[in-house]
């Protein structure tokens, strides 16, 4: 901002009655001001462009609410300043920086354009005239007010370093009272509402009075601030005096042979020596202890140091639990607790076998990936129990603060170590099993990125010197057995994923769920409900019905909930029975299942009841397991438009477009008219429209449904398919085949079309799932898909 007596504001410039309007969020422009404006809103940029194309003038006026991004005319003040654009610079991010000169105050008469129907605001404005002194008495009063303001400014500059010294020089060189008032207001650090109030006051005398009032209040605040600072310095002097007196008291007690206050210091020193911490940690603790010894014991800083030393001596620097390394015994424990998941068990036993041979190997970092309810967290607990190690579980879902992992620095009030160090203190050993649950659901915000903080924790090449912000020295985490769990790898950052060994736990088949229910869930829940003494029996068909009709999921969590619900109702029957006869048999069968669980939530016969034209059965992968999709295609008379419905993602839509293009290129082979696509519109729909669907693996299913609709051939309902299609009809490999196979089995489909390149995965899937009656068709192109999927006339 500047004052220039020869400025454009004092020159005779013709100002148009209609001007582009630029609403300002965070400032008020006064006449005689030369100030930069950073403009980012589109309608304001267009208003500036309009002004530059004509007479370079805009009407700058402040908004009533600065948070409003697209204000309406009633949300903009009426009084502002006509400004001349002196310079304009376009920024790389699309914003515009302009330098403007305030010319005249003006008021909006009416809007000729608003951003509701136009690219920018435009308004008819009326120039405002300042009301000067009309009598000699008023002239004297204005002169007194100006001198008062000059005196106040000199005091203000002396007390507040944020106010520039130039303001006093500027004030002394201004002759006109109205110019003096506007320049002073523009250079004071006032709030927007105060500046708007002042620009609307046309009487120069009243405006000067208002400035005197504002400056008086500011001087009072600065006086009070100076008083508080003086009192604070006196308190510090008092504290220093108490410290010297305390030191003198110590010396007197020592001369008299009495016990000094050094008992606590000596006790802490003995603890530090007994803990056998690292050399660097020991030096830091003794350094802090030395500082504590010189401090007043009740000071805030002394309490911070005392808490820090307490944390340091309570950490298990050299305490390790003894591992149980009987491989067969551990294998037995894992098999007792969990059915199947052989890959995870095999990896654990391999690690323990190596550890038995070489004791100083670094702890592994495993990541169990799988849908909810397949036993990821409980497997980690079983590993800790089998190895004889302490367990510490950290739930990372929704954690957004980096300090949750690395801790707070001791400079903060209420600082604490992060969850890693807290877990070590709680377990009391330096080699526990750490379960980091839901690592795929870590968040990030202004407090940092916890996923980045985990990079050092989950890196066996770095975590031997992990440094928590609170303790400030390295702690060896290499002995800790880290196990992380996640539903999907999609949201885990690639650098973090690279540091972990992925162990995938897939969903269970119906047969596997039945075995888990009979061997684990039912006995466990009967014991948990105190029903061991009663004769409770579940028939195999009842368990199968619960799995297929009430708990259709990849895992077994909902299966356990439903079995728990049945046992609760049986417990109530037993309690309410007048004669509690323990010989009564409580049998749960298909006939009485609805009595316990209500009507079925799902139906086992979900596959299509017959073959249809234009409906193909596809397979999809989701973070909670595989799903079956029924893709419907319909041709109607039209002009070749393609409609896609069912909450489909971009990749899914692209697959549909590729499928239609392939059908158009194969019109001869399919016995279609050459210009068939100009006569029909195609509508592709995937039911369950509320559920989002995306991915390329539905490509051959969409193509199959479209070609079926075009050729009027039935699609086999007993066959499912998955594969990505290219424009030339090639079938590309896909992922998640195991989960998709399980989904097909759940609905009773035992014939599956898969890409030829996925042939290598099938043998592994068959051995893992122990299935032999599923028939796979391996295809390289769309012609082979149609051969297996479509029925001949």
Domain holding 393: CATH number?
A: 3.40.50.300
- Stated pTM of the model: 0.57
Residues with a catalytic annotation lie at 697, 740
Kindly state whether residues 593 and 637 are assigned to the same domain: no
**pLDDT recorded at residue 58:** 94
Rounded Cα distance between 126 and 129, Å, is 10
Kindly state whether residues 537 and 437 are assigned to the same domain: no
Helix, strand, coil percent content, the chain, rounded in steps of 5: 45, 20, 35
Kindly state whether residues 782 and 645 are assigned to the same domain: yes
Tell me which H or E stretch contains 170: helix 166-172
Rounded Cα distance between 199 and 83, Å, is 14
User: What DSSP state is assigned to residue 414?
Assistant: T
DSSP 553-609: SSSSHHHHHHHHHHHHHHHHHHHH-SS--TT-EEEE-TTTHHHHH-S-SS-S--S-S
Phi-psi region of 609 (alpha: psi -120 to 50; beta: other; left: phi over 0): alpha
Q: With contact defined as beta carbons under 8 Å apart, do 736 and 507 qualify?
A: no
Rounded Cα distance between 400 and 396, Å, is 9
Kindly state whether residues 519 and 422 are assigned to the same domain: no
Q: With contact defined as beta carbons under 8 Å apart, do 37 and 61 qualify?
A: no
Q: What angle do CA 548, 745, 348 make, to 5 degrees?
A: 95
User: Does residue 148 sit within a domain?
Assistant: yes
Give the residue from 480, 504, 528 where a domain finishes: 504
Using a 10 angstrom Cβ sphere, with 0-12 exposed, 13-18 middle and 19 or more buried, the burial of residue 202 is: middle
Kindly state whether residues 303 and 383 are assigned to the same domain: no
Q: In what order do the strands lie in the sheet with 481-486?
A: 391-395, 433-437, 481-486, 365-369, 501-504
Give the residue from 456, 489, 504 where a domain finishes: 504
Tokens of 115: 């951003």
User: Does residue 244 sit within a domain?
Assistant: no
User: What DSSP state is assigned to residue 519?
Assistant: I
Q: 413-424: buried (b, 16+ CB within 10 Å) or exposed (e) per residue? A: eebbbbbbbbbb
Neighbours of 129 (CB within 10 A): 9
Kindly state whether residues 563 and 616 are assigned to the same domain: no
Q: How many domains does the chain fold into?
A: 6
Kindly state whether residues 164 and 292 are assigned to the same domain: no
Strand runs labelled E in 372-513: 391-395, 433-437, 466-467, 474-475, 481-486, 501-504
Write the CB contacts of 535 (distance below 8 Å, at least 6 apart in sequence): 582, 583, 584, 585, 586
User: Does residue 745 sit within a domain?
Assistant: yes
Kindly state whether residues 653 and 761 are assigned to the same domain: yes
User: Does residue 51 sit within a domain?
Assistant: yes
**pLDDT recorded at residue 249:** 67
Q: Taking the chain, what is the end-to-end CA distance rounded to the nearest angstrom?
A: 86
Kindly state whether residues 172 and 78 are assigned to the same domain: no
CATH code of 108's domain? 2.30.130.40
Q: What is the bridge-based pairing of β-strands 466-467 and 724-725?
A: unpaired
Rounded Cα distance between 22 and 108, Å, is 12
Rounded Cα distance between 13 and 698, Å, is 70
User: Does residue 227 sit within a domain?
Assistant: no
Q: With contact defined as beta carbons under 8 Å apart, do 493 and 441 qualify?
A: no
CATH code of 517's domain? 1.10.8.60
Q: Which residues on adjacent β-strands are paired with residue 682?
A: 635, 642
Rounded Cα distance between 506 and 486, Å, is 12
Kindly state whether residues 331 and 442 are assigned to the same domain: yes
Kindly state whether residues 442 and 481 are assigned to the same domain: yes
Extract the annotated binding site for ATP.
370-377
For residue 207, the enclosing domain spans: 136-222
Tokens of 186: 């523009």
User: Does residue 603 sit within a domain?
Assistant: no
Write the CB contacts of 204 (distance below 8 Å, at least 6 apart in sequence): 130, 131, 132, 133, 142, 177, 178, 181
User: Does residue 235 sit within a domain?
Assistant: no
Rounded Cα distance between 152 and 231, Å, is 25
CATH code of 185's domain? 1.20.58.1480
Tell me which H or E stretch contains 382: helix 376-387
762-767 — which CB contacts under 8 Å span 24+ positions?
762/737, 765/737, 765/738, 765/741
Give the residue from 84, 108, 127 where a domain finishes: 127
Kindly state whether residues 542 and 441 are assigned to the same domain: no
Rounded Cα distance between 138 and 313, Å, is 78
User: Does residue 241 sit within a domain?
Assistant: no
Rounded Cα distance between 19 and 122, Å, is 6
Q: With contact defined as beta carbons under 8 Å apart, do 417 and 460 qualify?
A: no
C-alpha distances in Å from residue 301, one per residue of 234, 296, 330: 19, 9, 50
pLDDT tens digits for 498-527? Answer: 888 888 877 777 777 888 888 888 888 888
**pLDDT recorded at residue 352:** 78
Neighbours of 776 (CB within 10 A): 19
Mean pLDDT per 10-residue segment, the chain (793 residues)? 44 84 91 90 92 92 89 92 93 90 92 88 92 86 87 80 73 82 81 88 88 85 81 72 70 61 74 84 85 73 84 88 81 79 79 77 80 82 84 85 84 84 89 88 75 83 86 88 86 85 78 84 88 84 85 82 90 77 78 86 69 89 75 86 84 84 83 79 79 78 89 90 89 85 83 90 73 84 90 74
């Amino acid at each position: 901002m500047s004052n220039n007596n020869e400025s454009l504001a004092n020159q005779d410039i013709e100002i148009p009655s209609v001007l582009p309007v630029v609403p300002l969020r965070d400032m008020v422009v006064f006449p005689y001001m030369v100030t930069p404006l950073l403009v980012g809103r589109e309608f304001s940029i267009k208003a500036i462009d309009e002004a530059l194309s004509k007479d370079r003038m805009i009407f700058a006026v402040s908004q009533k609410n600065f948070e409003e991004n697209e204000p309406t005319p009633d949300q903009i003040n009426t009084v502002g300043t006509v400004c001349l654009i002196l310079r304009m610079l376009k920024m790389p991010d699309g914003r515009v920086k302009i330098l403007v000169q305030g010319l005249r105050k003006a008021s909006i008469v009416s809007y000729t354009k608003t951003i509701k129907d136009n690219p920018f605001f435009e308004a008819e404005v009326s120039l405002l005239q300042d009301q000067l002194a009309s009598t000699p008495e008023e002239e004297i009063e204005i002169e007194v007010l100006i001198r008062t303001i000059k005196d106040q400014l000199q005091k203000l500059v002396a007390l507040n370093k944020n106010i520039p010294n130039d303001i006093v020089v500027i004030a002394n060189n201004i002759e006109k009272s109205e110019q003096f008032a506007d320049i002073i207001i523009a250079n004071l650090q006032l709030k927007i509402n105060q500046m708007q109030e002042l620009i609307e006051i046309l009487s120069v005398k009243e405006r000067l009075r208002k400035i005197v009032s504002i400056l008086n209040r500011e001087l009072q605040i600065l006086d009070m601030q100076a008083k508080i600072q003086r009192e604070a310095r006196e308190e510090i002097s008092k504290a220093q005096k108490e410290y010297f007196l305390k030191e003198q008291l110590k010396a007197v007690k020592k001369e008299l042979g009495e016990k000094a206050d050094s008992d606590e210091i000596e006790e802490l020193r003995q603890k530090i020596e007994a803990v056998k911490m690292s050399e660097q940690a020991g030096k830091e603790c003794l350094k802090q202890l030395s500082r504590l010894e010189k401090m007043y014991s009740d000071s805030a800083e002394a309490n911070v140091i005392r808490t820090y030393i307490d944390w340091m001596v309570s950490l298990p620097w050299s305490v390790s639990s003894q591992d149980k390394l009987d491989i067969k015994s551990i294998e037995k424990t894992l098999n007792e607790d969990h059915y199947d998941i052989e890959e995870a068990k095999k990896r654990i036993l391999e690690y323990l076998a190596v550890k038995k041979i070489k004791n100083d190997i670094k702890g592994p970092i495993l990541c169990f990936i799988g849908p909810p309810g397949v036993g990821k967290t409980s497997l980690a607990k079983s590993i800790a129990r089998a190895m004889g190690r302490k367990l510490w579980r950290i739930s990372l879902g929704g954690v957004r603060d980096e300090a949750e992992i690395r801790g707070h620095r001791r400079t903060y009030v209420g600082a604490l170590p992060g969850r890693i160090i807290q877990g070590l203190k709680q377990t009391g050993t330096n080699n526990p099993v750490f379960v980091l649950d839901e690592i795929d659901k870590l968040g990030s915000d202004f407090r940092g990125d916890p996923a980045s903080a985990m990079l050092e924790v989950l890196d066996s090449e770095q975590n031997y010197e992990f440094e928590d912000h609170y303790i400030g020295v390295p702690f060896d985490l290499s002995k800790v057995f880290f196990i992380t769990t996640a539903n999907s790898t999609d949201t885990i950052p690639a650098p973090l994923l690279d540091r972990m060994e992925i162990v995938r736990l897939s969903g269970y088949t119906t047969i596997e769920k039945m075995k888990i229910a009979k061997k684990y869930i039912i006995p466990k829940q009967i014991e948990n409900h105190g029903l061991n003494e009663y004769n409770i029996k579940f028939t195999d068909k009842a368990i199968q019905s619960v799995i297929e009709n009430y708990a259709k999921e990849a895992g077994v969590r909902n299966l356990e909930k439903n079995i728990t619900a049945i046992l609760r109702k049986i417990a109530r029957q037993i309690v309410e029975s007048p004669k509690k006869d323990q010989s009564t048999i409580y049998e749960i069968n298909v006939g009485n299942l609805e009595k316990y669980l209500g009507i079925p939530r799902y139906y086992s016969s979900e596959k299509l009841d017959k073959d249809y034209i234009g409906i193909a059965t596809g397979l999809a992968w989701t973070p909670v397991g595989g799903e079956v999709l029924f893709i419907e295609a319909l041709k109607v008379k039209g002009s070749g438009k393609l409609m896609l419905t069912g909450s489909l993602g971009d990749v899914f839509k692209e697959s549909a477009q590729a499928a239609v293009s392939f059908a158009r290129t194969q019109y001869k082979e399919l016995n279609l008219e050459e210009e068939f696509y100009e006569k029909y519109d195609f509508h592709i729909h995937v039911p369950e429209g509320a559920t989002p669907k995306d991915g390329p693996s539905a490509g051959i299913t969409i193509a199959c449904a479209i070609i079926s609709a075009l050729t009027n051939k039935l699609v086999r309902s007993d066959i499912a398919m998955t594969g990505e299609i290219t424009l030339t009809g090639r079938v590309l490999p896909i992922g998640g085949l195991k989960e998709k196979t399980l989904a097909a089995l759940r609905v009773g489909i035992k014939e599956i079309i898969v890409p030829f390149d996925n042939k290598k995965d099938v043998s592994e899937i068959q051995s893992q799932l122990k299935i032999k009656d599923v028939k796979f068709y391996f295809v390289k192109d769309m012609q082979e898909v149609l051969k297996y999927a479509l029925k001949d006339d």
